[in-house]
């Protein structure tokens, strides 16, 4: 199903309805732009009961903040559609029906419906692909965690562990020692530790366990421990780990956008205002910055929305100067 009706043409389409996308939407809505949010309704932090280190919203459930943000954006005329996006491409002359000379992008939904827009903001986040250890994913967001700053306070002084998936978790182990002196570092995923590193961890009382974890145990709500491959059981209250970070940006694949190779994978490259290598596409939040927290993602979204509006303003003056109706 293709649509070229004016009703399906937007100043901006935002892909993703989390805090980055909603912040962009609020900037654009307040700038009187016809804006549509396309939201698959699968935010990365949907597994967490509360957010922390979010000034003014400490302890707020993530869904509650999103609900408030959507209501605010809708007050400025922002529209929202629950839908997945299959592809974004540049429009062709055959696509255009408005006659102004303005260039557009075509956004194809998973359903096959096509929407037309003068700009796109990718804010679709990422997916955490956890190690295939039985019991690990079942406790993700409650007592299998990734961020000490987000969850360390709640588990301070308790029996904590870091499950290494790469050498990068060494930093996480050192960091978590700040919140508890009962810390075990399961190091198998990081490979053999140098003697100096081992001594450094042990000097602060960190227990280093090289035997791989076979299974995560729980009581239905929280982690209670792990079973190692040698059948030993270790009692725990929470596990910190890191999965493989996979940006949800497949719909941009045909555009050939510049990417950045980071320590945690390949991500779309953006400038300080979130603009990609495409003049009409911006990206904000974890889809472009995998380590961005909720406040950082909100700031990125706000900047991207303002930058997209600025680009549209310039285009409108260019078209008017050229004698086009705009």
Q: Would you say 79 and 37 are in contact if contact means Cβ atoms under 8 Å apart?
A: yes
| Across 70-96, average pLDDT | 90
| Across 63-84, average pLDDT | 96
Our CA dihedral for 282, 114, 21, 251, rounded to 10 degrees, sits at: -60
pLDDT tops 70 at residue 96: no
Task: Look up the CATH number of domain 9-127+244-322.
Answer: 3.50.50.60
**Residue 187 CB partners (closer than 8 Å, separation 6+):** 164, 193, 208, 209, 210
pLDDT tops 50 at residue 295: yes
pLDDT tops 80 at residue 5: no
Provide the pLDDT confidence category of residue 20 given band limits of 50, 70 and 90. Answer: very high
Provide the pLDDT confidence category of residue 53 given band limits of 50, 70 and 90. Answer: confident
Provide the pLDDT confidence category of residue 95 given band limits of 50, 70 and 90. Answer: low
pLDDT tops 90 at residue 323: no
Q: Which pLDDT belongs to residue 101?
A: 53
pLDDT tops 70 at residue 33: yes
Q: Which pLDDT belongs to residue 172?
A: 93
| Across 215-228, average pLDDT | 94
Q: Which pLDDT belongs to residue 2?
A: 33
Provide the pLDDT confidence category of residue 1 given band limits of 50, 70 and 90. Answer: very low
Provide the pLDDT confidence category of residue 135 given band limits of 50, 70 and 90. Answer: very high
Site of tokens 């956008």: 257
pLDDT tops 60 at residue 313: yes
More confident residue, 256 or 1: 256
Q: Would you say 224 and 236 are in contact if contact means Cβ atoms under 8 Å apart?
A: yes
CATH topology of domain 131-240: FAD/NAD(P)-binding domain (3.50.50)
C-alpha closest to that of 33 among 122, 125, 120 = 120
pLDDT tens-digit series, residues 180-202:
999 999 999 999 999 999 999 99
Provide the pLDDT confidence category of residue 326 given band limits of 50, 70 and 90. Answer: low
More confident residue, 47 or 6: 47
Domain with CATH 3.50.50.60 in the chain: 9-127+244-322, 131-240
C-alpha closest to that of 143 among 222, 36, 236 = 222
Q: Which pLDDT belongs to residue 92?
A: 74
Provide the pLDDT confidence category of residue 263 given band limits of 50, 70 and 90. Answer: confident
pLDDT tops 60 at residue 205: yes
Q: Is 153 helix (H, G, I), strand (E, B) or coil?
A: helix
For 194, the token pair is 């140098």
* Residues above pLDDT 70, as percent of the chain: 94
pTM score of the predicted model: 0.90
Distance CA 125, CA 249 (A): 8
**DSSP classification of residue 202:** H
pLDDT tops 80 at residue 146: yes
Mean residue pLDDT across the chain: 92
Provide the pLDDT confidence category of residue 102 given band limits of 50, 70 and 90. Answer: low
Q: Which pLDDT belongs to residue 56?
A: 92
């Amino acid at each position: 199903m293709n649509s070229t009706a004016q009703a399906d043409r937007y100043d901006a389409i935002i892909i993703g309805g989390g805090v980055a996308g909603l912040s962009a939407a609020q900037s654009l809505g307040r700038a009187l732009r016809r804006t549509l949010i396309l939201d698959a309704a699968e935010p990365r932090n949907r597994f967490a009961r509360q957010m922390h280190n979010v000034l003014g919203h400490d302890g707020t459930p993530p869904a509650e903040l999103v609900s408030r943000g959507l209501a605010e954006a809708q007050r400025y005329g922002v529209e929202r559609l629950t839908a997945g996006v299959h592809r974004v491409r540049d429009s062709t002359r055959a696509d255009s029906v408005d006659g102004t000379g303005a260039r557009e992008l075509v956004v194809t939904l998973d359903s096959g419906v096509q929407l037309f827009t003068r700009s796109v903001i990718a804010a679709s986040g990422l997916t955490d692909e956890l190690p295939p250890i039985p019991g690990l994913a079942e406790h993700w967001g409650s007592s299998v965690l990734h961020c000490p700053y987000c969850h360390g306070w709640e588990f301070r002084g308790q029996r904590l562990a870091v499950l290494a998936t790469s050498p990068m978790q060494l930093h996480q182990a050192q960091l978590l020692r700040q919140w508890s002196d009962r810390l075990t570092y399961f190091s198998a995923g990081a490979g053999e530790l140098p003697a100096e590193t081992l001594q450094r961890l042990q000097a602060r009382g960190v227990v280093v366990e090289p035997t791989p974890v076979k299974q995560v145990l729980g009581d239905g709500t929280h982690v209670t421990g792990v079973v190692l491959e040698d059948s030993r059981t270790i009692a725990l209250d929470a596990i910190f780990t890191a999965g493989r970070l996979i940006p949800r940006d497949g719909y941009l694949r045909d555009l050939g956008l510049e990417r950045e190779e980071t320590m945690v994978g390949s991500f779309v490259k953006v400038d300080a205002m979130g603009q990609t290598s495409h003049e009409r596409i911006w990206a904000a939040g974890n889809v472009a910055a995998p380590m961005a927290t909720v406040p950082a993602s909100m700031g990125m979204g706000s900047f991207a929305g303002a930058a997209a509006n600025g680009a549209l303003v310039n285009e409108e003056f260019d078209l008017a100067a050229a004698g086009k109706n705009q």
